[in-house]
Amino acid sequence: MIKSLISISLVLLLLLSSKTFSQSTVFEDGEELYYEVYYSFINIGWVKFNTEKVIGKKDTYLCTSTIRSNDALPFVYVNYVFKSQVEIKDNQIRPTYFESKETNKDSQQSLLTYNFNYDSGFVDIKKVGFNNQVEYTNRIQLNANYQDGLSIFYFARFNYFNSHREDVPVLINQDKANITLDFNTDKTNADIGAVNYDVSSVHLEGNTNYDLVFGLTGNFEGWFSNDNARIPLKAKFRVQIGNVTLELKTWKRLNWNPPKI
């Protein structure tokens, strides 16, 4: 159940309506999105996304995702922080650095890092365990523009402008993989508890044919705001234990509220 929380950043994929919006509006310095995660009717944790402009670097942002288990569930403990520095270049999003930091109950930390070198065409991967010892290193050749487990969230927000299906290269579990995204611009509506009205939204479906981080596998779907902010509203996905739902609860974004139908 709890391990499935780590898969969330892979399936919070944001869509557009059939309108034409500026891609640059996806990134906003200071944006914060907070979600709660449910297994059936049980709240098993929360996820928070923060976006910050990197000072001194053009069109570069530091994106952070924090994942925690519910403190009211004494038999589980999850404490992860993902960070991805991404740049917008040639109208594309590409990560330049990624890290995944896990803290255990004893306050020990493990750290996984990806350092992307596009000029030389490779990414350096390093894993340091809870004992502060290097457990894994590798250099992988980049034959495409690969996303990481967090940048894929922003990649989908940035690139959804028409209905199409796309296989997106992603680095997962220290190796290359693909996620299939089926983008659909048909307008629909979503119901979230944070507001007392139906939210104008669009709907995405996706698929993986293999196990991703901690058991995410098979089909997933999401509902996202039908406006130029493209905020994820709700997501449903399947993990090894069953179905998990994630829902937007609070947000900080200038002059933004979930759009009405």
Dihedral class, residue 14 (left if φ above 0, else alpha if ψ from -120 to 50, else beta) = beta
Q: Which H or E run includes 99? A: strand 92-103
pLDDT tens for each residue of 186-210: 889 999 999 999 999 988 888 776 5
d(CA 261, CA 223): 14
When comparing pLDDT for 213 and 130, which is higher? 130
Q: Which two tokens stand for residue 249?
A: 């609860």
Q: How confident is the model at residue 233 (pLDDT cuts 50, 70, 90)?
A: very high
Query: What is the percentage of the chain residues whose pLDDT exceeds 90?
Result: 47
Scan for tokens 């290097």, then name that residue. 134
Domains and CATH numbers, the chain: 2-252 (2.40.360)
Averaged pLDDT, 122-134: 96
Give pTM, 2 decimals.
0.86
Q: How confident is the model at residue 30 (pLDDT cuts 50, 70, 90)?
A: very high
d(CA 39, CA 4): 10
Q: How confident is the model at residue 154 (pLDDT cuts 50, 70, 90)?
A: confident
Please state, rounded to an integer, the average pLDDT across all residues of the chain.
Answer: 84
pLDDT tens for each residue of 39-53: 888 898 999 999 999
When comparing pLDDT for 5 and 149, which is higher? 149
From residue 51, alpha-carbon distances to 154, 176, 249 in Å are: 10, 26, 17
